[in-house]
Amino acid sequence: MSTPGQTFPARLAQVRREIDAAAARAGRAPGEVTLVVVTKSAPEGVFALAAAAGVGNVGESRVQAGLARRAGREALFRWHLVGSLQSNKVRAAVGAFDVLHGIDSAELLLRVERAAAELRRSPQVYLQVNVSGEASKHGLPPAALPAVLQAAGGLAHARLAGLMTMAPEGDDPQAARPVFAALRALRDRHAPGLRGLSMGMSDDFRVAVEEGATCVRVGRRLVLGLPELAAGAGAHA
């Protein structure tokens, strides 16, 4: 785990080592896993640190906040929207983000497709599945997934990258394992040709990688309480 006073490069190297080790335990190549650094809770100076450390992917959870933080940094990273997407923000999101992780209905998927056609964009999209069944979480019920996958077969502009889920919060990362395994099973059953599984966050990304994650979304472990930013260093970068 990250320790107080640990710099961003040290945290990043540690998380990458943990991803590699988890991939090795599962007999996978480390290069199969994309790390998205979730920047939503950090001062803007984190972007300069991330760029200097060679980070390729960053994630924001809200469209408007992401637009503001992306301005002037469009080419530095691949931008991911990792939060839920409201229908009235679709056009803005499609115009700004390269990857959308929270598509949770056929209607929303088709709105994204129409906006992508109008804007001549080709964002990648993940279908969010509420595997845990928690009322507090967004996502398709698993039983609805086949119909939305069928709708995704007609996409000409947006590109279906895979499935996404969030595990219940808790102190034991192993408790997330059945949720991640269930998402992998859903993919294998209903879309065996689909590669992507976006799952795993700061507390449970190692388990997610062991269960087949191709994309992990890590924020708190990497960006909270960074000593480089404690006194405002890089805050205007």
Per-residue pLDDT at 35 exceeds 80: yes
Which residue's structure tokens are 């190692």? 206
- pLDDT given for residue 41 in this prediction: 82
Please tell me the distance from the alpha carbon of residue 40 to that of residue 32, in angstroms, as a whole number.
25
Tokens of 50: 């991330």
- pLDDT given for residue 170 in this prediction: 82
Strand partners, 198: 164, 215
Across residues 88-97, what is the average pLDDT? 98
pLDDT-derived band at 2, boundaries 50, 70, 90: low
Q: What length is written for the chain? A: 237
Per-residue pLDDT at 233 exceeds 60: no
Domain residue spans in the chain? 8-225
Closest by CA to 183, choosing from 148, 140, 137, 219, is 140
- pLDDT given for residue 193 in this prediction: 93
The rounded percent of the chain whose pLDDT value lies above 70 is 95
Fold of 8-225: TIM Barrel (3.20.20)
- pLDDT given for residue 4 in this prediction: 65
Which DSSP letter does residue 129 get?
A: B
* Prediction pTM value: 0.94
- For 98-135, what is each residue's pLDDT tens digit? 999 999 999 999 999 999 999 999 999 999 999 988 88
- For 14-29, what is each residue's pLDDT tens digit? 999 999 999 999 999 9
- pLDDT given for residue 235 in this prediction: 37
pLDDT-derived band at 138, boundaries 50, 70, 90: confident
- pLDDT given for residue 5 in this prediction: 82
Per-residue pLDDT at 40 exceeds 60: yes
- pLDDT given for residue 76 in this prediction: 97
Tokens of 55: 């980070």
pLDDT-derived band at 3, boundaries 50, 70, 90: low
Per-residue pLDDT at 33 exceeds 50: yes
Q: How many C-alpha atoms does 169 have within 13 Å on its Cβ side?
A: 2
The rounded percent of the chain whose pLDDT value lies above 90 is 89
- For 159-204, what is each residue's pLDDT tens digit? 999 999 999 888 899 999 999 999 999 999 999 999 999 999 999 9
Across residues 144-151, what is the average pLDDT? 96
